[in-house]
Amino acid sequence: TMRYYNLAHNVFIFKYFTGPLECSLVQEALVHSFCQNHKKAVECALAVTKKQPESSSMFVLLGKIQMKAKKHKVKEILLHSPPSTFETAEIYFFMGQCYMEQICLLEACDAFTSAVRLCPRYADAYYQRGLCRMQLQQAKCILDFNKTLAVSPAHFQAYLSRAAYFGSKGRYSKAIMNCTEALKIEPKSVRAYLYRGALKFYNRTYKQAVEDLTTAIDLDNACVLAYYNRAISFHKLKDWKNALKDYGIVLLLETSNDTFLKVLINRALLYIELDQHDNALEDFKEVAQSKPKDRQLLQVIGLCYHRLKKYEEAVHSYSKLLKLDPFFLDGYIGRANSYMEFGHQEATKQALKDFLKAIHLDPTCIKARLCLGYNLQALAKFQKAWTQFTVAILIDPKCHLAYDGRAIVCLQMGDNFAAFQDTNAALKITTNAELLTNRGVINQFMGFLNCAMKDYQQAITIDPNYALAYFNAANIYLLNRQFSQVLEAISGKKITLIYSLLPCIESYSGSSNCKERSKCCSARERMRKFVMSNRATTPVYLMEDSLGKMQAFSIVR
């Protein structure tokens, strides 16, 4: 690179040396510099400048040696007795590099400008000025990269820098084209394949990104960034097996703590998508050792405990989070949802307090309003629950969960028509198996069995694995004495509630007494209980967006 100077670059100075003493001192300085013995190299170069104080080339040599020794405050040395035009331009170029090392970008830009004024075809000076301007976030940096390529069409670094510029502006196609041009110059450049793979990732062409990153790995099988970026590309492609494999390789190779933690977070998120919450929890806990005060991390650990039905541990995690930040709204919602799972009145009341705190922090929070509505519903405070769902609808008229929640409360209060209207409003916003099944239940309560059956069948069409739709359809068949259809509807559906119907079906089909049949199976009561108990899972569903905040996907260019 431009920072590392080799011996060949300094050969031109020998024409200025006349005596054997000076020549040997210069050679000694170069040898010491090459061997990284910078102190001796500087001493030899200083001795030469004392012997020939009028020789500008000696001062250039001294400046270069000092730069290699990372002693960048050598501007006065480089300015000593400016020689011919090209040498003066080169001196300004080296001064610019010194300024860049000291992060004096404006001064560096001026130095490179002086260099190109003296030598208009100085490609490296244009390139370095482009880098300066890019760091200064000046759009005209692209002009310098263009000039570099106009002077030197085979300038590999200029193509990559231009790709980085276009990538930063979201113009991924142009950036990819520049990486392709760079690869024509250096076909085995790992960095170029890394860049192009990263850009293809951002361009959402994940399969092509995997191809480039695989090529980078073939060229350098110890390239951590290639494995890491390929892992998240596999992750986006939902190729879980290969993603886990690459994450594991990165964990074995990586020494950087930051990347190590990102990999653990990404792998934990992948485990969550695979419903392996125990593995996800272990990864999150390992990250928490390095980030014990990370609020989002504590939140998602609490969520994992919740999914694993370790509700006391979930409450502990959320409580720890709220001690760190008493104003963390999602912490109150998460802890309240965990309390709700305890299954007794005292915990439900404690959950009520947390939901009220969340609403006090943000009265417009839809999640808090909905969860409070479900909580009040569980406490049999139906009118108050109805009010919370109504407020949620006023805040967000497109919230189908609020309409659905209010519909269930209306159903519990005996207002079937209001429940029907709210469910229809929810279905206008979105159509899913749960809403259709709920409308079927309402139709069934209102005595419209044909409409109810149509809703259940439509729900099954949308989601063939939605067991509640089969269960409710079986109830209607049962009421109509269509026993073969009942058995067909529930066959293969491994759910406790459905299998609990089998003894009723057998008893029902063998009895001729209507009263006896009604005792065996009360369809309405079963449907009501199932719908009510099914609502308990909704607060957990509402917490899903907390996972989105934990996303650690990142491409390192």
Contact criterion met (CB below 8 Å) for 247 and 266: yes
- pLDDT on residue 89: 82
Is the CB of residue 525 less than 8 Å from the CB of residue 412? Answer: no
Whether the pLDDT of residue 400 is over 60: the answer is yes
- Write out the two tokens for 436: 């259709």
Provide, rounded to the nearest whole percent, the portion of the chain with pLDDT above 90: 55
Q: How crowded is the C-beta side of 172, counted as CA atoms within 13 Å?
A: 13
Superfamily of domain 154-246: Tetratricopeptide repeat domain (1.25.40.10)
Residue 23 confidence (pLDDT)? 47
Q: What is the pLDDT of residue 426?
A: 95
Q: Which residues does 81 contact at the CB level (< 8 Å), separation at least 6?
A: 54, 55, 56, 59
The percent helix, strand, coil of the chain (3-state, each to 5) is: 75, 0, 25
**112 Cβ neighbours under 8 A, 6+ residues apart:** 92, 93, 96, 125, 126, 128, 129, 132
Measured at the CA of 276, the angle between CA 532 and CA 433, to 5 degrees, comes to 35
CB 64 within 8 A of CB 98: no
All structural domains of the chain with their residue ranges: 154-246
303, 334 Cβ separation under 8 angstroms = yes
Cβ(46)–Cβ(59) under 8 Å? no
What distance in Å separates the CA atoms of residue 285 and residue 268, rounded to the nearest whole number? 10
pLDDT at res. 214: 96
Residues 471, 493: Cα–Cα separation, whole Å:
9
On average, the pLDDT of the chain sits at 79
| 478 pLDDT tier (thresholds 50, 70, 90) | confident
Res 519 pLDDT > 90: no
High-pLDDT (> 70) share of the chain, %: 71
- Amino acid at position 260, single letter: F
Asked if pLDDT for residue 422 goes beyond 50, the answer is yes
- Asked whether the beta carbons of 436 and 469 are under 8 A apart, the reply is yes
Written as one string, the DSSP assignment of 518-544 is HHH--HHHHHHHHHHHHGGGHHHHHTT
pLDDT at residue 505 in the model: 44
The 8-class DSSP code of residue 18 comes to -
Amino acid at 215: T
Q: How far apart are the first and last CA of the chain?
A: 17
User: Binning pLDDT at 50, 70 and 90, where does residue 105 land?
Assistant: confident
Give residue 110's pLDDT band: very low, low, confident or very high (50, 70, 90): confident
Q: Is the pLDDT of residue 264 over 80?
A: yes
- Mean pLDDT over 466-492 rounds to 75
Instruction: Check whether 494 has a pLDDT greater than 90.
Output: no
What are the pLDDT digits (tens) for 316-326?
999 999 999 99
User: What confidence tens digit (pLDDT) does each residue in 161-207 have?
Assistant: 999 999 999 999 999 999 999 999 999 999 999 999 999 999 999 99
What are all long-range contacts of 126-132, with beta carbons under 8 Å and residues at least 24 apart? 126/151, 127/155, 127/157, 127/158, 127/161, 128/2, 128/93, 128/96, 128/97, 128/100, 129/96, 130/158, 130/161, 131/100, 131/161, 132/96, 132/100, 132/105, 132/108
Note the pLDDT tens digit of each residue in 73-104. Answer: 544 444 444 555 777 788 788 788 777 887 88
Question: Tens digits of per-residue pLDDT, 269-313?
Answer: 999 999 999 999 999 999 999 999 999 999 999 999 999 999 999
Phi, psi (rounded to 5 degrees) for 500: -65, -15
Classify 447 in phi/psi space as left (phi over 0), alpha (psi -120 to 50) or beta.
Answer: left
Give the model's pLDDT for residue 536.
34
Which pLDDT score is estimated for 10?
A: 42
pLDDT tens readout for residues 426-438 = 999 999 999 999 9
> What confidence tier does 336 reach under pLDDT thresholds 50, 70, 90?
very high
Question: pTM for this structure?
Answer: 0.71
Q: Indicate left, alpha or beta for 81 from its phi (over 0: left) and psi (-120 to 50: alpha).
A: left
Element (H, E) at 7: none
Confidence band of 61 (pLDDT split at 50, 70, 90): low
Quote the CA–CA distance of 232 and 228 in Å, as a whole number.
Answer: 7
